[in-house]
Amino acid sequence: MKDITNRIIPVFIAIISLLLASNSDAQQLPDRILSAYNNETEITGQASVTLKPGFYIPSGKTVRIYTTGASFERCSDFLSTPSANQNYISTKVFKTPGFLTDSDINRTGLSTCDVGQTIRYFDGLGRPVQTVTVQGSPGLKDMIQPFAYDALGRESVKYLPYAVTNNGGAFRTDALTSGAGQQLFYNTATGVKNTTTPFSVTVFESSPLNRILEEGAPGMPWQPATTRTTTGGRTVVSEYGTNIASDPVKLWVINASGASTTAAYGEGKLYKTTIKDENWLSGKAGTEDEYKDLQDHVILKRLWETETKSLSTYYVYDDFGNLRYVLPPAVNENGQNTISSFSESDVVFKNFIYGYSYDGRQRLIKKQVPGKGWEFMVYNTLDQVVLSQDAVQRAKTTPEWFYTKYDVFGRVVSTGIYARNLVTQSEMQTVVTNDGLSNSLFETRPINTDGSNSDYTNVAFPRDNTQAQVVSYYDNYAFVGNTFGGPTGNQMPAVRTKTLLTGTKVNTLGAPDMLLTVNYYDDEGRVIQSKSQNHLAGTDVVNNTYKFSGELKSSSRTHVVSGVTTIIASRYDYDHMGRKLATWESINGAPEIVLNKMDYNDIGQLGSKSLHSTDNGTTFLQKSDYAYNERGWMKSNISPQFSFELKYQDGTTPQFNGNIANQSWGSNGSNPNTFTYGYDKLNRLLSGTSTGIVMSEVLTYDVMGNIASLNRNGTLGTYDYTGTGNRLNQVIGGLATGLYTYDGNGNVKKDGRTGVTLTYNQLNLPATVTKTGLTMAYTYDASGAKLRKVSNGATRDYVDGIEYDGTKIDIIHTEEGLARNNSGVYSYEYNLSDHLGNVRLSFYKNPSGSLEVLQQTNYFPFGKTLIAKAGQNKYLYNGKELQEELGQLDYGARFYDPEIGRWNVVDPLAEKMRRHSTYNYTFDNPIRFIDPDGMSPTGPGTGGPGDIIKKAAGLIAKKAKDIVNNLPKIQVSSKLTVGIQAGVSAGNIASLDFSPLVFTAFETKHTLNKGEYKSELTLPGDGKGIKTDSKVGINIAGNSAEAGGSFQLHAGEDGPYSTNTKTTIKLGGVFKDSFAKGVSTETKISTSTKMGKSIGSQEVRETQNGHTTVSNENSMKLSVKFILGAEISIKY
């Protein structure tokens, strides 16, 4: 019977293929024809899959065969031949299933879609000299990252990566040859900024400390020079010393009520570091001094605005080294409230100073952010925060606290509100401590004997007068209220969901509703389905599929409200390195469209983006082309509809440090409208002067970065902060009138500009807004998600990217804009944005099939809009929703007022930026920085060549992390190959003649269960070793992603991965790797030729936290020089 089935399958599949092909798009899609089975678990084709006679699937194998539809993904033959005459470590990551044996791994005929490889070459001292990412460029060229060292072994020159065609992973001997290799590439490559200096130079101090004196960057202006000029030598300069009497540093001493200073630190008692950025030319202006004590505590940070005006921030510590106070510039020299002492009851303390208080166990129990009032923290005996309280909660008739409950593993299981008539931290701490002596400190969720669902116990403090707002469930699906049930189909069974978040219930603030979300996982621990309730009494079900290499392949959302079902289906294409190529989308079964298609240059920078195709990518409605400078900063975005260009060091007033000197914009590369920007020495925007469209702003600031005056197109407004610290009292002049008032948390209650009165919920988000002729209310859930806005009776609901106008869907957000509902038919609208994400133009495909501009907007420097063509899109400045009734923008954590350039709520992360006002917007530099969510400013990202190669090579690491981090079982093979030029004895492992050849010194294999995996492979040496300082979830990722050094990868559930290039080199040692979230990794490889060291053992043991640890040790005896090669393979 099996033989008959095997003969029938090819015919049956071929018939299905013909049927599918006959119904495909008019554009011919490629077929896939197979003659042999290669252990795949999935076989796909775009239009059809044909299995030819003789194709045979062995008994017991499960194979899914299906068509994917049109795709921009393309594979090419994988070609790799590492240089056998070099020391190297080769790392492969397999991207498709079926690699189960050594023969699978080593078979020929693989494609770039099957495997990715990174080869690291080393010199005789074990230092990396070249990293080759085989066929790693978008055009399938090898990506080469060269390394070089000075006479003292320091990497004083760091080179940009470059691409080489037809290289096959070989070592490039001409990489750093003048007129060839890397230099030739950056002199002649198309689509990449040409430069004669594609490297950065580091100048070290001539001392054993090897401290950095200058750091350059790619590009001629940023190369070190003997003389710093207006056009060159613009490096970051570091100077070192100690404090001196002529430049005194105050010695602050803590007393019973606060702190005071009557003396300065003695000479030589503090280390001093001075930083001068690329804009600095001479003198003190634009420099930063940092002073540290002998315990490495930062005592003072001093910035120089001019040659004589400094802005100082002091840090004051207690005898235990705890930070007690931070005194920002407002209370130091040149500040508006210079002081030599203070108590915690002083107005100046409440307005400007950060304060911290600790208990006898050195736990932080109280803190004050300026203008916000004290916040209290209460702990259980496990040092877990169980209660916290802000000033507004404390002022209520019955004081409220935020509570947090934990399970036995320390995971948060419940948060909410606790009401109790105790107002001091010490009183509440006593209650909690005493309660913990006789009651449990954690909650459990027992398993009922009858199999019914159970909920958490209520035994940990607090047990009464509570209102749960977020409840989290882990490990299984047997919890009360889970109306969605357990896993089905290919979802991971509950017995294997230990440690995973399986469900949450989130309260709708102001209502009793608890909205349920349940997550279902696949065998790799990835969410493949989530089911959730929405506040409109409906449900949302999201189904995800993933590629074997970990990328999200498709996502389908089924949204149901009032019996009406809306289905949004998306799928994604990636290239062989995991760079996204395209997004496809369909709503309610409509023909699939291509939302976007990305093309990249040779070093991985986004070169162009095409939008909206209805013919599988044959034609697109719109295309934008991007260009960058030597440092990877965006230079231009050109399209027929909207274009802009940015200037930096090449601007009117050159800016070498990333500030933008000029911006011009228009369409189709013609940019008649310009901004010329001016900055002070603290990089604060002083002016944005326009030509063409008139929209200029001129500003001044106080020492905290509060705007002191704003002149917009000749209309001047001055800002008054008298007696209120960073809180704005009023704006005097033409911009606004009226007084501002605040609540205990520093939230604006009365807006002097618009005359509105606001109230806030517990998350410091607006709850109600009222003024003459306006009544508005917002509804949020306890996680801070906005659910509803009711404005004068008109209701707008928000359900995770779907927005309702009244009872019907109005828009659905997409990656490139939105889809607008026109009587059940969705029309796609696209946004063209500038470098800050400001939407400058919106368009769609009109009924005649042509591109039609719907809306066009220009912006003043601080975000006020100037409408060129009005439209319906409200997501404008930084892509944030405009609240038209307020004239403010909703960033998520708080609202921003572009009319006056300030937030209306204290920064939730103010302690990260203590020298700045808590209401300051983007460090007063809104042309360079954005604030993605209202929490903290950041750069918009540039995609520089150095970053691109790390990310490109790191895609292998990311794939390995995504896959291995959640695998229930991991098979790891390690193989060491040695090239010999003389006699070798490796014990029982190998014995060779005196002739050049390569052999396998040893191989190790082991299988580990899901969890933390550590293996240790020892190659005895002379006590030294190569050490690659790499903080990464997995060793194979660490090896494959290193570019310019090692890299750091944050493998948390939600966190992004990042890179750095700090590498320490030694000689000899061990090789370690780890598979676990956030686990550090070291790599040490020995090239020692020492004789007579040999061991051979293996140990498997269980650690205290239940993880498996495998240790392997092997050795060999070598009599002469050898060439080292290592291969590490992961099979799953």
Cα–Cα distance for residue pair 620/595, rounded to 1 Å: 9
User: For residue 166, what is the DSSP state?
Assistant: S
Residue 1075 burial (CB count, 10 A) = 29
Cα–Cα distance for residue pair 108/78, rounded to 1 Å: 9
With a CB cutoff of 8 Å and minimum separation 6, the contacts of 757 are: 749, 750, 751, 769, 770, 771
So what's the pLDDT on residue 766?
98
Cα–Cα distance for residue pair 939/897, rounded to 1 Å: 20
CA 837 to chain centroid: 17
pLDDT, tens only, 1097-1115: 333 333 333 333 333 333 3
The values of phi and psi at residue 1016, to 5°, are: -130, 120
DSSP 473-490: EES-S-BTT-TT-S--TT
Query: Is residue 118 within 8 Å of 1036, Cβ to Cβ?
Result: no
pLDDT at 55 over 70: yes
Cα–Cα distance for residue pair 441/428, rounded to 1 Å: 16
Cα–Cα distance for residue pair 1109/1009, rounded to 1 Å: 10
Average pLDDT, the chain: 84
So what's the pLDDT on residue 540?
98
So what's the pLDDT on residue 17?
36
Q: How far is CA 1017 from CA 406, 1035, 1045, 1087, 1090, in A?
A: 39, 12, 22, 14, 17
Strand partners, 91: 118, 1128
Q: How far is CA 364 from CA 359, 435, 496, in A?
A: 7, 20, 38
Mean pLDDT of 210-222: 98
Return the C-alpha torsion angle 1067, 1069, 1070, 1073, nearest 10: -30
pLDDT, tens only, 290-310: 999 999 999 999 999 999 999
The vertex-785 CA angle with 779 and 791, nearest 5°, equals 35
| Strand ranges (E), 497-632 | 501-507, 514-521, 527-533, 539-546, 552-561, 564-574, 580-587, 593-600, 606-613, 622-628
Three-state DSSP state, 742: strand
So what's the pLDDT on residue 1115?
33
pLDDT at 1130 over 50: no
State the pLDDT confidence band at 11, using cuts at 50, 70 and 90. Answer: very low
**For the chain, what percent of residues have pLDDT higher than 70?**
80
Cα–Cα distance for residue pair 629/843, rounded to 1 Å: 29
Q: How large is the C-alpha radius of gyration of the chain?
A: 32
The values of phi and psi at residue 956, to 5°, are: -60, -45
DSSP 965-989: TT-SEEEEEEEEEEEESS-EE-TTS
Cα–Cα distance for residue pair 661/647, rounded to 1 Å: 6
Cα–Cα distance for residue pair 952/941, rounded to 1 Å: 16
Q: What tokens were used for 727?
A: 């809180």
Q: What is the pTM of this model?
A: 0.82
Cα–Cα distance for residue pair 432/440, rounded to 1 Å: 11
Closest CA to 97 of 85, 87, 105, 89: 105
Q: What tokens were used for 1074?
A: 């780890």
Strand partners, 587: 568
pLDDT, tens only, 374-397: 999 999 999 999 999 999 999 999
Q: Is 725 left (phi over 0), alpha (psi -120 to 50) or beta?
A: left
So what's the pLDDT on residue 1120?
36
Query: Is residue 601 within 8 Å of 191, Cβ to Cβ?
Result: yes
How would you class 141 by CB atoms within 10 Å of its CB: exposed for 0-12, middle for 13-18, buried for 19 or more?
buried
Q: What tokens were used for 637?
A: 């975005």
So what's the pLDDT on residue 1056?
30
Query: Is residue 1124 within 8 Å of 976, Cβ to Cβ?
Result: yes
Three-state DSSP state, 537: coil
Instruction: Give the number of C-alpha atoms closer than 13 A to the C-alpha of residue 434, restricted to the C-beta side.
Output: 6
So what's the pLDDT on residue 29?
59
Q: What tokens were used for 785?
A: 């998600």
Please give the span between the terminal C-alpha atoms of the chain, in angstroms, as a whole number.
31
Strand partners, 627: 636
pLDDT, tens only, 107-159: 889 999 999 999 999 999 999 999 999 999 999 999 999 999 999 999 999 99
Element at 350 (helix H, strand E): helix 347-352
Closest CA to 387 of 432, 423, 357: 432
The least confident of 175-179, 933-937, 1034-1038 is 1034-1038
